[in-house]
A = this chain, B = another copy of it.
């Protein structure tokens, strides 16, 4: 099913004149799509080449092999996600976080394949690069949240709480891709409610977290009867 049966090794098919970078990006996009739709074992360089309308030789030329292509695809997805999570400014930390969460789920929704590939891990990974990419995204998210909350040296309870929340968001993203039985706005609200709930739990152990909560929720918080759902 090769689209360019007689392409020479390393040659760019003449019928498609694309810049080197653009060509590389197309190959990465094709790889990302295929690696997450199928078990990586079942995806060949030929499949990626055919999907991108390129020659097998071109894929080898740019990436050297399947593992390198896989890592490049994951790295590209991680970079895009991180770019989207950069704060836009103009709101308090929780508003900023809620907007970041929306952009996170925009990414999950638009790039479902890449997201699942990023978090499910991957094929033969002999150098730990894939784990490093995934952990890098988690660390970056943790850093962005702490930065937004003006936290520089969290105690153990706060650090674990924020890492737990990042894990919860990841888990919720994968769950949503599997089930899609909750609408995104509701899910995002649940995750924001979880953040506040988790911080309250941590405040029971660490007075600094109680102080942080006061800066995040400056209004004295009362029971909100109107927001409670009637139970039977």
* Contact B168–A156 (Cβ < 8 Å): no
Scan A26-67; emit 1 where CB is below 8 A from any B CB, else 0: 000000000000011100000000000000000000000000
- How many protomers of this protein does the assembly include? 2
Q: How far is the CA of A17 from the CA of B52 in the complex (A)?
A: 58
A182 at the interface (CB under 8 A from B): yes
* Contact A41–B198 (Cβ < 8 Å): no
Within 8 Å by CB of A160, from B125, B166, B175, B197, lies: B175
* Contact B172–A170 (Cβ < 8 Å): no
A214 to chain B: closest residue by CB:
B231
- Closest-CB distance, A155 to chain B (whole angstroms): 8
Interface residues in A, total, Cβ within 8 A: 55
**Which residues of B have CB within 8 Å of A127?**
39, 41
Q: How far is the CA of A175 from the CA of B231 in the complex (A)?
A: 38
Q: How far is the CA of A139 from the CA of B56 in the complex (A)?
A: 39
- Closest-CB distance, A138 to chain B (whole angstroms): 9
Scan A160-200; emit 1 where CB is below 8 A from any B CB, else 0: 11011011101110011001011000110110011011101
A204 to chain B: closest residue by CB:
B193
Q: Which of A92-142 contact B (CB under 8 A)?
A: 120-121, 123-128, 130-131
**Which residues of B have CB within 8 Å of A196?**
201
A202 at the interface (CB under 8 A from B): yes
